[in-house]
């Protein structure tokens, strides 16, 4: 009976939704509509349908925004860069016509407020609001609402809009993630029924792998605000630092059965470096959302679920930069209409809520203008005073054997307008050498000291044990760089304005042999190209000294004789590749060394590689994307993305190495095929959860510890927190390296920092040399881990490798490629590719 009733209700709704046309009156009040200037084109007149009828594609979105900018004196549009797929990253600047005329002056004054010690006169100073949408491409209500928000701000002549534009500069970023938005729009539109069907089982509501959330290389871009590794983030962070917005909003979607969320988030999970005043202002702003959402009858919540901890998220990043970041989360209709616990959820309804929150933010901005401007002024004033106390203190970081890794960290600092210097002269501190062009000094006495602290600090105690994202991101650990948090500014040379990687070159032409250090970050890229030219290259299994220079484990030897090209061509090729990869190659004229001679059998031939990564349903798309990105963009190594759908009909024999990123395991048919390939000599590399598959199929005995969560004295109400506390959401741990094992080639220090976000623990092997990487006795470097998990981790191993018939199987419990900024462990994967024959 109940079901029949529900069914009839449902069909009634379906009829009503398929027949109703959404119009402007749905989004705006009648009163608002009377204020709209008819000369400004509506979204419908350009995109060909009302907003919400179809999902906007990025090209149409840009087309409308361009049209709007050309029709309104209130709006300018800038193209700030391109995505991986060459889509433009546009930004609208929206303010009154009068302000537009001297926008440069307004921008200059706004920034000078953050540098000034004089109490400012804020009577006429506009507030800067950055509104950004749909950084997750399949959370589209944000970008779709941006069409209406921009239209309204261009067209309305209401008192509110006139006053608002006089007192505010709005930076409107209509699509944080163009490639993802486009991918999702294609899916939702191409599966739409004319008779809108709210059945969640319809294909419309379940995208194919990997979905539209991420960018081209499957990165979650809402984790990249601090590392700034992706082109989309680079453009966005540049705008951020050029404007230092007072408020930044980040419009997302969440599960279909939710309602609407706005910040503040869970108070106990706010990062301790964020002030109470910041959260108080966020709360005060939220009253404007409450009022607006009450008015349109929308349910909402705050101070639950989401938090303000990791500064790499859009709504938290501004909090360490003198602004106020605000997260919005709207229940997702995912496609055009879906059944939910709150009744039928339509796409236009989700758009309307985002539009409402966008406008309530602007209402708060107008009314709280002076208070928020004062907050930013005081934030930087206090920050500078704090910095002054550290006048002579600085941070040094570097790697005497790898200029590139140090350079890439410096590059991040530069993107955040953090100042840094060369070192004046080479020096040694606490037994570590810092070398010119391989090390940089950051003076603490600078405006962005808070941001520097947020990037460099280590933290191991926390108020709460639950985290929405990672609990640690200490940058010098991520890069596995040497660093010291307190050196004298006397060590500093010139400030670096133009940052460049040192040039690469072949030191001298040789008719005998060339040697290449494996310590450099880009050496795998160079090795790959040499092998692709069918040039013979060998790896040194021992250290040696030649011409008074010490060569480490893993040095690459390229003999001149018996190659398929002449000595001259080889020199030219190596010079070209050294230059391209910013590496130094030494030409040598003798094979006699102090240690293994160049003709020794301790130099092993390196095989040319043909690499496949398993991708598709069941594989963690972030982890897979990170690996793809690493090979494709950093090392220029071509890889095949082998979808689980096509494994069974593919000839695997052409691949020398296959990587299985973290996954749920493989189907029986795929397992059989991969195992067969391994037996026949394949080099299989597996990560994280795929280790369970390795163990189950007995490819290696991984000795995985069974970890049970103690549940004594836990009440039902505490259950979620108790479970959550046992999650390793992302923390940094220390392990000891056996530098003589090929997995450690290219590392100079005996300790390494590893990023871990799993609870897979492997016991050590009884044969000690089979444990080249071991977690130390007190491994926690930074981040949260429960006592039970820490106990499990101590002296366990993150790496195992072993032969399987003619092949090799290698397992990593940890992610060596996390979010593209863990430069420090990328080489572990490269060693597993190129040197597995020597394991």
Residues that bind Zn ion (CB under 5 A): 136, 139, 252
Closest among 540, 637, 533, 529 to 579, alpha carbons compared: 529
Q: To the nearest whole angstrom, how small is the minimum distance from the Cβ of residue 139 to Zn ion?
A: 5
Residue (139 or 552) nearer to Zn ion, CB? 139
Residue (139 or 173) nearer to Zn ion, CB? 139
Closest among 674, 710, 712, 708 to 694, alpha carbons compared: 674
State both tokens at 57.
């594609």
C-alpha distances in angstroms, 250 versus 139, 221, 302?
Answer: 11, 12, 15
Start-to-end CA distance of the chain, whole Å, equals: 67
Closest among 132, 135, 138 to 55, alpha carbons compared: 138
- List, in order, residues 6 or more apart from 171 with CB less than 8 Å away: 91, 92, 93, 94, 128, 129, 130, 131, 239, 243, 245
Q: To the nearest whole angstrom, how small is the minimum distance from the Cβ of residue 345 to Zn ion?
A: 17
Q: To the nearest whole angstrom, how small is the minimum distance from the Cβ of residue 149 to Zn ion?
A: 18
Q: To the nearest whole angstrom, how small is the minimum distance from the Cβ of residue 82 to Zn ion?
A: 23
C-alpha distances in angstroms, 432 versus 339, 400, 484, 736, 747?
Answer: 62, 9, 9, 17, 14
Q: How far apart are CA 539 and CA 838, in angstroms?
A: 10
Q: Contact at 8 Å (CB) between 785 and 632?
A: no
Strand partners, 337: 346
Q: To the nearest whole angstrom, how small is the minimum distance from the Cβ of residue 141 to Zn ion?
A: 11
Residues 559, 562, 564, 567: what is their CA dihedral angle, to the nearest 10 degrees? 60
Q: To the nearest whole angstrom, how small is the minimum distance from the Cβ of residue 337 to Zn ion?
A: 20
Q: To the nearest whole angstrom, how small is the minimum distance from the Cβ of residue 470 to Zn ion?
A: 16
Q: How far apart are CA 337 and CA 339, in angstroms?
A: 7
Q: How far apart are CA 406 and CA 439, in angstroms?
A: 6
Residue (211 or 591) nearer to Zn ion, CB? 211
Closest among 508, 598, 506, 492 to 545, alpha carbons compared: 598
Q: How far apart are CA 377 and CA 110, in angstroms?
A: 10
Residue (74 or 251) nearer to Zn ion, CB? 251
- List, in order, residues 6 or more apart from 604 with CB less than 8 Å away: 538, 539, 541, 837, 838
Closest among 347, 476, 377 to 122, alpha carbons compared: 377
Q: How far apart are CA 454 and CA 701, in angstroms?
A: 41
Residue (210 or 524) nearer to Zn ion, CB? 210
Which letter does DSSP use for residue 652 in this model?
G
Q: Contact at 8 Å (CB) between 677 and 658?
A: yes
Q: To the nearest whole angstrom, how small is the minimum distance from the Cβ of residue 134 to Zn ion?
A: 8
Residue (107 or 305) nearer to Zn ion, CB? 305
Q: Contact at 8 Å (CB) between 827 and 525?
A: no
Q: To the nearest whole angstrom, how small is the minimum distance from the Cβ of residue 145 to Zn ion?
A: 14
Q: How far apart are CA 582 and CA 585, in angstroms?
A: 10
Give Dmax (Cα) for the chain: 92
Q: To the nearest whole angstrom, how small is the minimum distance from the Cβ of residue 221 to Zn ion?
A: 10
Residue (136 or 438) nearer to Zn ion, CB? 136
Q: To the nearest whole angstrom, how small is the minimum distance from the Cβ of residue 115 to Zn ion?
A: 34
Residue (141 or 759) nearer to Zn ion, CB? 141
Element (H, E) at 493: strand 492-495
Residue (250 or 400) nearer to Zn ion, CB? 250
Q: How far apart are CA 728 and CA 708, in angstroms?
A: 14
Residue (168 or 338) nearer to Zn ion, CB? 338
Residue (176 or 799) nearer to Zn ion, CB? 176
Q: To the nearest whole angstrom, how small is the minimum distance from the Cβ of residue 142 to Zn ion?
A: 9
Tokens 């594609």 identify what position?
Answer: 57
Residue (142 or 824) nearer to Zn ion, CB? 142
Q: To the nearest whole angstrom, how small is the minimum distance from the Cβ of residue 233 to Zn ion?
A: 15
Q: To the nearest whole angstrom, how small is the minimum distance from the Cβ of residue 57 to Zn ion?
A: 19
Residue (253 or 552) nearer to Zn ion, CB? 253
Residue (135 or 387) nearer to Zn ion, CB? 135
Q: Contact at 8 Å (CB) between 69 and 92?
A: yes
Which letter does DSSP use for residue 370 in this model?
H
Q: Which single residue brings its beta carbon nearest to Zn ion?
A: 252
- Kindly report the length of the chain: 839
């Amino acid at each position: 009976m109940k079901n029949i009733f529900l069914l009839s209700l449902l069909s009634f709704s379906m009829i009503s939704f398929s027949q109703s046309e959404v119009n402007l009156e749905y989004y705006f009040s009648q009163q608002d509509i009377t204020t709209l200037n008819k000369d400004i084109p509506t979204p419908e007149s350009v995109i060909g349908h009302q907003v919400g009828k179809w999902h906007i594609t990025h090209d149409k979105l840009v087309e409308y925004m361009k049209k709007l900018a050309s029709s309104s004196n209130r709006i300018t549009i800038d193209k700030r860069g391109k995505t991986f797929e060459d889509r433009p990253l546009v930004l609208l600047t929206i303010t009154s016509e009068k302000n537009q005329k001297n926008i440069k002056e307004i921008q200059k004054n706004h920034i000078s407020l953050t540098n000034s010690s004089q109490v400012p006169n804020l009577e006429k100073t506009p507030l800067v609001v950055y509104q950004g949408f749909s950084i997750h491409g399949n959370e589209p209500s944000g970008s779709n609402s941006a069409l209406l928000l921009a239209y309204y701000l261009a067209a309305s002549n209401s008192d509110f809009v006139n006053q608002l534009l006089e007192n505010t500069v709005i930076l409107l970023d209509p699509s944080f993630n163009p490639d993802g938005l486009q991918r999702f729009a294609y899916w939702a539109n191409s599966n739409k029924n004319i008779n809108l069907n709210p059945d969640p089982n319809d294909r419309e509501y379940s995208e194919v792998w990997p979905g539209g959330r991420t960018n081209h290389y499957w990165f979650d871009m809402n984790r990249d605000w601090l590392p700034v590794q992706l082109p989309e983030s680079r453009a966005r962070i540049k705008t951020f630092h050029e404007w230092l917005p007072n408020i930044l909003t980040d419009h997302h979607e969440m599960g279909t059965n939710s309602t609407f969320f706005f910040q503040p988030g869970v108070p106990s999970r706010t990062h301790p470096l964020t002030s109470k005043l910041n959260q108080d202002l966020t709360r005060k702003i939220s009253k404007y959302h409450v009022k607006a959402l009450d008015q349109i009858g929308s349910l909402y919540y705050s101070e639950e679920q989401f938090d303000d901890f990791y500064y790499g998220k859009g709504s938290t990043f501004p909090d360490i930069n003198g602004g106020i970041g605000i997260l919005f989360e709207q229940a997702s209709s995912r496609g055009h209409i879906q059944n939910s616990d709150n009744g039928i959820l339509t796409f236009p309804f989700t758009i309307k809520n985002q539009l409402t929150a966008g406008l309530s933010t602007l209402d708060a901005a107008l009314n709280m203008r002076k208070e928020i401007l004062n907050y930013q002024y005081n934030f930087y004033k206090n920050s500078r005073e704090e910095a002054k106390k550290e006048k002579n203190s600085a941070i040094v970081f570097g790697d005497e054997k790898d200029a590139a890794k140090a350079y890439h960290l410096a590059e991040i600092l530069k993107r955040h307008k953090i100042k840094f210097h060369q070192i004046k002269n080479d020096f040694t501190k606490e037994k570590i050498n810092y070398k010119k062009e391989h090390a940089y000094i950051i003076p603490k006495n600078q405006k962005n000291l808070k941001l520097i602290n947020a990037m460099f600090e280590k933290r191991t105690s926390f108020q709460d044990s639950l985290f929405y994202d990672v609990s640690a991101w200490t940058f010098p650990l991520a890069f596995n760089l040497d660093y010291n948090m307190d050196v004298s500014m006397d060590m500093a040379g010139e400030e670096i304005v133009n940052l460049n990687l040192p040039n690469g070159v072949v030191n001298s032409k040789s008719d005998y042999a060339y040697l290449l250090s494996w310590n450099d970050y880009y050496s795998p890229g160079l090795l790959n190209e040499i092998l692709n030219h069918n040039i013979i290259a060998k790896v040194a299994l021992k250290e040696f000294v030649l011409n008074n220079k010490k060569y480490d484990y893993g040095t690459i030897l390229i003999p001149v004789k018996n190659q398929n090209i002449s000595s001259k061509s080889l020199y030219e090729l190596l010079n070209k590749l050294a230059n391209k990869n910013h590496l130094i190659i030494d030409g040598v004229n003798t094979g006699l060394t102090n240690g293994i001679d160049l003709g020794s059998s301790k130099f092993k031939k390196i095989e040319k590689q043909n690499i496949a990564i398993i991708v598709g349903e069941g594989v963690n798309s972030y982890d897979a994307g990170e690996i793809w990105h690493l090979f494709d963009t950093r090392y220029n190594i071509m890889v095949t993305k082998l979808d689980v759908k096509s494994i069974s009909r593919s000839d695997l024999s052409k691949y020398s190495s296959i990587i299985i990123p973290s996954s749920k395991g493989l189907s029986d048919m795929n397992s059989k095929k991969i195992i067969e390939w391994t037996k026949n000599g394949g080099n299989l590399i597996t990560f994280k959860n795929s280790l369970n598959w390795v163990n189950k199929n007995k490819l290696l005995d991984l000795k995985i510890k069974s970890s049970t969560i103690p549940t004594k004295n836990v009440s039902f109400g505490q259950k979620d927190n108790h479970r959550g506390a046992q999650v390793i959401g992302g923390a940094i741990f220390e392990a000891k390296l056996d530098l003589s094992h090929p997995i450690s080639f290219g590392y100079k220090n005996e300790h390494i920092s590893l990023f871990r976000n799993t609870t897979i623990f492997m016991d050590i092997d009884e044969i000690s040399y089979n444990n080249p990487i071991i977690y130390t006795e007190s491994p926690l470097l930074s981040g949260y881990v429960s006592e039970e998990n820490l106990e499990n981790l101590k002296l366990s191993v993150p790496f195992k490798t072993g032969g399987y018939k003619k092949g090799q199987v290698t397992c990593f419990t940890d992610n060596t490629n996390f979010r593209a900024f863990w430069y420090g462990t990328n080489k572990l994967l490269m060693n597993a590719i190129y040197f597995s024959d020597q394991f």
